């Protein structure tokens, strides 16, 4: 499974720009599913549709600095989007369903991030029936305009029809983002036929009604109004060319993958390139190789050059630099919610400094070698880590905290103390004393300590590890994002395995067959 796409090869979306407005039109090729066995009818989608959407959102941010409003609509008459394809869900393995939901969640969040941090305001122009995941696409937009034709509805029918939940943030966004009253949200989410017209506006499910006659023109006029409120920065765009895979290497073992991230040399475009490669590596490993349960994170390069490059990008006040910083932030977030054990190895020759130190801080454990390189006892080179401004607010996690604040939750004074250590090369002993690493084995114990740690991880239940890691990583307050990836996703993952949904007589498998689902009535 690959995740690189280009608008010239889209099968399901049409992307066009006109000055400060972009049109992103869903026109799903029913025969264009990723695998055989289902048709993508009524603008329903699978992972392939969403990969194109993700590519489009990225290109709009990087290649089109002039765009201030993105209109998401349908190119088909009388249907906006029927949501995730039911046949695809019913026939997919559990891990495929979970990864599919996770990726679509990340893509919806990226749309909201573009509105919040890039000045690209997403507007859903709902020109027909909008159900399930289709409404969840609309919910990710800042504004929802619904055609007023006495038939088009918005709906979240997963609970009454499929025995599952709206898996890409629908329940959470309805109440937390749009402020729908709890009892009305209950009625809405158990009503398979949805809500239309004035009721949808009154319940806050949509923002405005637009007459069918002149719908496109009216939507464009409203988009122009929204564009005048945008705070998009000025600057030049950059083309997202095919990946060259220069800065991220993957080595595979029996139960683990080692991801090595290389620091910059003299390439001004390093941070964008390394972020794109890391993003791609995370997605491909997560989707294609679920049996590799531990990811070992390493870096190679000059810490000083990492910090120099970081300052150049972070201090700039132009559109491109802003996009690069937020892209790196989103890629780290993708790592945070990845269901793998993350182990960072900090060795001589590594460059865990500033923004790359965030990779180590994202890990479940960090080991730093206190001694010479394992293969060169005569070398004077030693491992170190360096804190910078990047570690104190610019790259928050989904819970709204920095990784240092999450690591030392309940001890804010220690985080303040760490701020005094910025720009200093911290030795293994200092890093250990400051609590920035799990352990600092010397060169005599290093190989055995790491081997034992990796073998120990491989001997434990992957399911139990996934639950443990997710609970440890996201401490403190809940946000819309942490609820979607934690509470909602956890329930959905469990429901996906229950007979009431996925069993031979479950709602997901019997949908469309004319047979009613048979439910085990016990509450668990």
What's the half-sphere exposure (Cβ side, CA atoms, 13 Å) at 423? 5
Q: Which fold has domain 248-473?
A: 2-enoyl-CoA Hydratase; Chain A, domain 1 (3.90.226)
At 377 the pLDDT is: 87
- Reported as type and span, the H/E element at residue 345 is strand 341-346
- Reported as type and span, the H/E element at residue 202 is helix 197-202
Res. 53 pLDDT band, cuts 50 70 90: very high
Q: If you ran DSSP here, which 8-state letter would residue 517 be given?
A: P
At 268 the pLDDT is: 85
389 contacts 418 by C-beta, under 8 angstroms: no
> C-alpha 164: how far from its chain's center?
21
pLDDT above 90 for 43 = yes
Per-residue tokens: 11: 């099968």
| pLDDT tens for each residue of 362-420 | 999 999 999 999 989 889 999 999 999 999 999 999 999 999 999 999 999 999 999 99
In the chain, where are the structural domains located? 7-227, 248-473
Listed in sequence order, the residues at least 6 apart from 120 whose beta carbon sits closer than 8 Å to its beta carbon are: 60, 61, 67, 68, 69, 70, 114, 230, 232
At 161 the pLDDT is: 95
Fold: same for 7-227 and 248-473 = yes
Average pLDDT for 214-237: 96
Average pLDDT for 421-449: 97
Only one residue has tokens 């293994």, namely 428
Per the confidence metrics, is the pTM higher than 0.75? yes
Listed in sequence order, the residues at least 6 apart from 261 whose beta carbon sits closer than 8 Å to its beta carbon are: 247, 248, 274, 278, 297, 298, 299, 300, 356, 359
Listed in sequence order, the residues at least 6 apart from 384 whose beta carbon sits closer than 8 Å to its beta carbon are: 303, 425, 426, 427, 428, 431
At 514 the pLDDT is: 93
Average pLDDT for 101-105: 96
Tell me the average pLDDT of the chain. Answer: 96
Res. 347 pLDDT band, cuts 50 70 90: very high
At 266 the pLDDT is: 82
At 267 the pLDDT is: 76
Q: Which CATH number applies to 7-227?
A: 3.90.226.10
HEC assignment per residue over 134-146: HHHHHHCCCEEEE
């Amino acid at each position: 499974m690959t995740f690189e796409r280009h608008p010239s090869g889209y099968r399901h979306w049409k992307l066009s720009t006109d000055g400060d407005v972009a049109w992103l039109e869903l026109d799903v090729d029913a025969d264009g599913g990723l695998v055989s066995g289902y048709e993508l009818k009524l603008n329903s989608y699978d992972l392939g549709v969403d990969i194109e959407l993700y590519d489009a959102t990225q290109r709009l941010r990087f290649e089109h600095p002039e765009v201030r409003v993105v209109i998401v609509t349908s190119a088909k008459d009388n249907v906006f989007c029927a949501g995730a394809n039911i046949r695809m869900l019913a026939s997919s393995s559990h891990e495929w369903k979970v990864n599919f939901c996770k990726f679509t969640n990340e893509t919806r969040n990226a749309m909201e991030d573009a509105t919040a941090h890039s000045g690209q305001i997403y507007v859903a122009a709902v020109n027909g029936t909008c159900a399930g995941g289709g409404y969840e696409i609309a919910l990710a937009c800042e504004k929802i305009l619904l055609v007023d034709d006495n038939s088009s509805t918005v709906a979240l029918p997963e609970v009454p029809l499929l025995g599952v939940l709206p898996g890409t943030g629908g329940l959470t966004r309805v109440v937390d983002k749009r402020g729908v009253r709890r009892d009305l949200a209950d009625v809405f989410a158990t009503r398979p036929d949805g809500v239309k017209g004035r009721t949808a506006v009154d319940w806050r499910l949509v923002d405005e009604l637009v007459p069918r006659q002149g719908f496109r023109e009216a939507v464009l006029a409203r988009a122009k109004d929204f564009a005048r409120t945008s705070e998009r920065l000025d600057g030049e765009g950059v083309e997202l060319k095919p990946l060259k895979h220069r800065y991220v290497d993957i080595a595979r073992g029996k139960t683990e993958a080692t991801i090595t991230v290389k620091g910059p040399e003299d390439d001004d475009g390093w941070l964008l390139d390394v972020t794109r490669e890391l993003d791609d590596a995370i997605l491909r490993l997560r989707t294609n190789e679920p049996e590799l349960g531990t990811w070992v994170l390493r870096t190679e390069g000059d810490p000083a050059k990492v910090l120099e490059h970081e300052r150049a990008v972070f201090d700039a006040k132009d559109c491109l630099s802003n996009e690069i910083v937020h892209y790196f932030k989103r890629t780290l977030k993708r790592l945070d919610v990845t269901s793998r054990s993350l182990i960072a190895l900090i060795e001589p020759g590594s460059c865990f400094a500033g923004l790359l130190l965030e990779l180590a801080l994202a890990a479940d454990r960090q080991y730093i070698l206190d001694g010479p390189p394992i293969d060169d006892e005569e070398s004077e080179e030693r491992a170190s880590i360096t804190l910078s401004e990047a570690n104190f607010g610019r790259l928050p996690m989904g819970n709204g905290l920095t990784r240092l604040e999450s690591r030392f939750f309940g001890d804010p004074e220690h985080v303040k103390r760490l701020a005094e250590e910025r720009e200093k090369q911290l030795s293994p002993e200092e890093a250990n004393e400051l609590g920035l690493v799990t352990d600092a084995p010397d060169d005599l114990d290093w190989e055995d300590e790491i081997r034992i740690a990796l073998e120990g991880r491989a001997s434990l239940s992957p399911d139990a590890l996934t639950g443990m890691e997710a609970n440890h990583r996201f401490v403190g307050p809940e946000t819309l994002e942490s609820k979607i990836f934690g509470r909602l996703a956890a329930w959905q993952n469990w429901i996906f395995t229950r007979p009431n949904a996925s069993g031979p007589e479950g709602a997901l498998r019997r949908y469309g067959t004319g047979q009613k689902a048979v439910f085990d009535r016990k509450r668990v």
